[in-house]
Structure 1
C-alpha cells in the first residue's frame, strides 16, 4: 500500500496544497509549527476516521473559513483509490469515495491503513490507561471497520446513561435498558480487544527479542472490568449485567458509570516484570517500538499488505541503535517522516524531501 498524493484546502494552517509522495522514505521537514504534523494528521484521518491527536472536526478548519477539505490518492492491492473528507465547524463531516458521497465510516475504513508513531507514543508504557485503550482501538478499527460502529454506539449509550445518573433522574426502566445495551456492546468491545492483543503479542515479542538480541521477552495482559477467563462473548455480557445490577446503587450515588471497557487497560511485561514499574527508559522505548512495528506487521497478516508508516518527529527521540532498527525494519515499505532539521536526514536514502513553511510545501529536493 502506498499514498501517491495528498490535497488539502483550508486545513489547519494550509490554504491550498497538493503534495506528492513516492515509494520508500518521504521526508517532510521544516521549523516547529510549520504544519508538518498537520499533513500527517490529514493523511491519518483516512486510516482511522479521527485525529491521532484527539482533535475535533471543527479544529481542522482554517481560521476564518467555514470548512476544510482533504483528499488522498493511494494504491492498495485492489488498485487505485481516491478518498475525500469535508470537515465543518458546525456540521457533520462529509465523506467521499471516488468523488461520490458515502454515509458510513465503515464504507471507507480499511481501504487505506497507516501506522502513526509520535513522541507521545513513548508514554505508552507509563502513560494513562486511556492512552493504551486509544492505541488498541485505533489499530482495530483499520482492520475491522465494523468495530467503529460498536465503539461509537457504546460511547453514545454511555453518555446517555451518565446524563441519567448525573441528573438523578429516577427511571429504573430506562436505566435497565441502558445497562442491557451497554453490556452487549461492552462484551463485543472486550472480545475484539482481547483477540487483537492475542494476535499482537507474538509479533511484538518477536521484535523485542530481535531488537535486544534475545535478552528481553515482551508479553501483554488485558485487564477487564468484567474479570478474566471468559468462555464467550455472552459470558462477558452476562458478567457486565451482573456488575451493573450489583453496583447500581454505587453508580447512582457517584452519578456516573463506574464499570465498562471505557475503564479497561492492558499491562506490558518485560521478562515477566511490569514494564511500567520496573523497566528502564530504554526498555520502555524498545517496548513501544516493538508494539508499533507489530501493529504494522499484524496489519499485513490480516489484510495482505503493509500499511503506510507515519513517523512524526520520532527519530530525533530515539538513540542511533533504535533509529537504525526502525528504518531497517520499515525498509521497502512506504514511510513518511517529519522533522525540523534537514541535516538530520542527510544519511537517509530518500527520493522525496519536502520543505514546509507556514502550511505550504515550498519545494521538493
Structure 2
C-alpha cells in the first residue's frame, strides 16, 4: 500500500473513532455505522464504516455491548480521543463572564479563594470541582511575629507567600524584649523556608533560647503546634456526579477518602492523583483505569496544577464520568487555574 493510502486510511479511522466517542459522550448511546454516516458526515459507505468499527474493536479502542448494538469507547478509545483534541477550546463568552465575576470581589483569605474556586469549577462543569490547598513543602513563610496583647496573652502570627495567614493565641504573657528577641530569632531561621522546614526548626528553639530574655517553658512545642497546617482538599458538587447512572451504585467516599492529603491520613484515589500530578503545568486528563482505583473505572478527572511566582503549589480539577465533554472540561480547568493564579497574586 502506498504511503499516501496508509495516511488516508489512518485519518479515516481516526475520524470514525472521534465521531464514535463524541456520539457516546453526547448521547450515552452506542454508535452505529448508520448514525456515524448520517449524523457525523463520515465520507464513506456504511459497510466501510462497519469494517472500520470492527477493526477499532479488535484494536481495543471500542467495545460492543451486544451483538446487534453499536460500539462504545473503551478507556483506550477515550485516551485516543483526548489525545486527538487539538487543545482545550476557548471558554464560551458567557462562561468567561461568569469566571470574571467570580473573582472580581476577591476573598481576603486563601481558604475562601480555594472554596470559591471549587464552586466555580462545579458550577461551570455541572460535575464535581476540587482544589487542594497549597502543599506544605511548596509553601514558603513570608513573615512571622509574636505580639503581646492585653489580658496577659501572646498572639503568634505567620503569613506565607501563597496568602495563607495563621494565628494562634497563647495563654501567657511575655515582655516586649522577649518578643523582640524571639521574632528576630524566628525571622532569621524561618522566613523564606517552607512550612515543613518551620516545624522542625522551631522544635529546637527551647535549647537555643536557654538563658536568653525569652527563656520560658514549652515555647518550642507551642510554636511548632502553630505550624500544624493540614493540606486539605476542598470538594464541591459530589451530589452532581452521584446522580449520574455510572455512580449510583458506588461508594464515593472510598474514592474521595479523607480530605487531608498528608501522610498518616487515609487518602482516597483522588488524593493520590493529586499528589502524583502536583507539577502538571498543562491540563492533564486521567481516564478510567488510569485512576488506579478498582471499581471506579467509570470516572475521569481533568486536572492542572496552579502556581504562585511560577512555582506549582497545588492542584485543581473536575471529577466526572468518562463520557464527559473533554474539550470543554479541559478549557474550564485551564482558564480557572489561570484565574486562581491571578487571585493569589492579589492576596
Q: Which protein is richer in strand relative to its size? A: 1
The TM-score range, normalised by the shorter chain, is under 0.3
| Larger RCO (alpha carbons 8 Å, 6+ apart) | 1
TM-score, length basis structure 2: 0.26
| Structure of higher CA gyration radius | 2
